[in-house]
Structure 1
Amino acid sequence: MKNLTTLDKIAYSFLIIIFGLGIYFANTDLTYFDEVYTVEDGFVENGSAIFLFISSMLLLYRFFKLYKYKKTLWKVGILAMSVLFFFGAGEEISWGQRIFDVQSSEYFLQNNAQGETNLHNMVVDGKKVNKIIFSQLLTVVLVLYLIVTPFLYRKFEWVKNLANIFAVPIVKWHYTIAFLVGTALLVFISSNRKWEIYELSFSVIFLLIFMSPLNKGIYTKQ
């Protein structure tokens, strides 16, 4: 615990409460879990969007703050991550469609599993993009990033240099453990809506990683 920042402790406490309540409701009142706790545009889903957006803005702030001190590849790396997390935040709330009461176009009504204006619920040849890209591919990416990359970063100098050049934040092991624990806890939730909680934990932990990576020097003027 001594290696945890105050923000880490607050965030982990928050996630313990979120998972704890989720497991409780899923096993005592599944209807409440599905229709209130993890409902579309509810606290959990909007929380994910908010944390993803904060990560995007944090990266964008660092991009402009350090612009004149950094090389092109660093700028490309951090700007690409900022755009990626902004995209994730937008997708999470269907780009504000329900917030601003915007009707989906005919294309999305016909090709989106939920009739919403987003890409992750699109259906192509009878298969949901969410399952192919945002689940299977994302799983591979997370394993590589959270487990393989930190190990290689500590072992090989060329990996360390490459990560630093592209402004890729390297996770501290307790962030990896937090992800694994969160993944394991999903076993205790039978509802398919459990992925909303997982997405919230994803957004919170990634914000922590951006706030305090192992290679925090990538966010300095050097």
Structure 2
Amino acid sequence: MLQFKKLTKTETLLFSALAIVLILSVYFGFSDGEYFDTVFAREDGAVEYATFFFLLCISILQFYRLFTASKNKAVLWKLGIFFFGVLFLFGAGEEISWGQRIFGIESGDFFKDNNLQNEINLHNLEIGGVKLNKLIFSQLLTVVMALYLLVLPFLYQKYEGIKKLVNKFVIPVPQLSHITAFLINTIFIAILPNLSRKWEVYELFFAVIFLLIFLNPINKNIYLRESGSNS
């Protein structure tokens, strides 16, 4: 049965940071929408770079585990760790358009013709009238995240077969504190006025919550060096 567990110092710090950002988001979102969009959550601002940082932290954490705890592990264990390391590295790169604005890199013809912001990233592409950001990074990702955060933890604890499969592929299972934080942040972001940059803040919440999940999931033993990867 899912239950709240005592937080570590790192978790307390990250959850506190989430709460502060949420309070500021609600305050500025309802009191000064222009300030919210142009200062608080502006492009190339603190929110965007913080999202990049936390996504990168997840990737680094995974590659650290791959290089320090992969001895005697099964191939699927190594592939699972590697997959999430690459996935969140991709997410971090996409968040800052792979450093395009930081380093002053000019977009190639493909991105000028097919990217809604003329930037070097995939999530703003529009090909054949289909916006990838809406189709993949919004609609599809929302369904996947809902299943992962709201369904998987319960199935993991109820069905031994699912538990073994999840552990075999080294998929971290969210704790009740992670699920609660996700729901609270989702509700407050949803009720904010229709601000153009509020989803940038939501991406920051996403990054922090997933770092918390990867640091301390229900099945944290999957990361232990001495634990078998075939369980």
Asked whether the two chains share a fold, i.e. TM above 0.5, the reply is yes
* Cα deviation 1:125-170 (Å, max 9, x = unaligned): 2231111000111111111111111111100111111111111111
Give the match's secondary structure for 2:61. Answer: helix
| Distance in 2 of aligned mates of 1:122 and 1:203 | 22
Aligned partner (choices 162, 165, 170) of residue 168 of structure 2: 165
Which has the higher mean CA deviation after the structures are superposed, 159-168 or 22-31?
Answer: 22-31
2:154 aligned residue? 151
Per-residue deviation, 1:209: 0.7
2:80 aligned residue? 77
| Distance in 2 of aligned mates of 1:17 and 1:67 | 37
Give the TM-score, by structure 2 length.
0.93
| Distance in 2 of aligned mates of 1:16 and 1:68 | 39
Aligned partner (choices 216, 220, 225) of residue 216 of structure 1: 220
| Distance in 2 of aligned mates of 1:202 and 1:146 | 11
| Distance in 2 of aligned mates of 1:92 and 1:74 | 27
Amino acid at match of 2:131: K
| Distance in 2 of aligned mates of 1:2 and 1:130 | 36
| Distance in 2 of aligned mates of 1:125 and 1:148 | 34
Give the match's secondary structure for 2:218. Answer: coil
* Cα deviation 1:50-105 (Å, max 9, x = unaligned): 00001000000001111222100011111001000000000000000000011111
| Distance in 1 of aligned mates of 2:62 and 2:19 | 26
| Distance in 2 of aligned mates of 1:193 and 1:138 | 19
How many positions carry a matched residue from both structures? 222
Query: Is 1:41–2:49 an aligned residue pair?
Result: no
1:6 aligned residue? 9
Identity, % of aligned positions: 50
Which has the higher mean CA deviation after the structures are superposed, 133-142 or 18-27?
Answer: 18-27
1:29 aligned residue? 32
Give the match's secondary structure for 1:70. Answer: coil
Per-residue deviation, 1:40: 1.0
Amino acid at match of 1:193: R
Aligned partner (choices 41, 65, 68) of residue 65 of structure 1: 68
Give the TM-score, by structure 1 length.
0.97
Aligned partner (choices 186, 194, 206) of residue 202 of structure 1: 206
Amino acid at match of 2:64: Y
2:139 aligned residue? 136
Aligned partner (choices 189, 192, 214) of residue 189 of structure 1: 192
| RMSD (Å), alpha carbons | 1.1
- List alignment gaps of at least 5 residues for structure 1: none
| Distance in 1 of aligned mates of 2:43 and 2:122 | 16
2:113 aligned residue? 110
Per-residue deviation, 1:110: 1.4
| Distance in 1 of aligned mates of 2:97 and 2:179 | 29
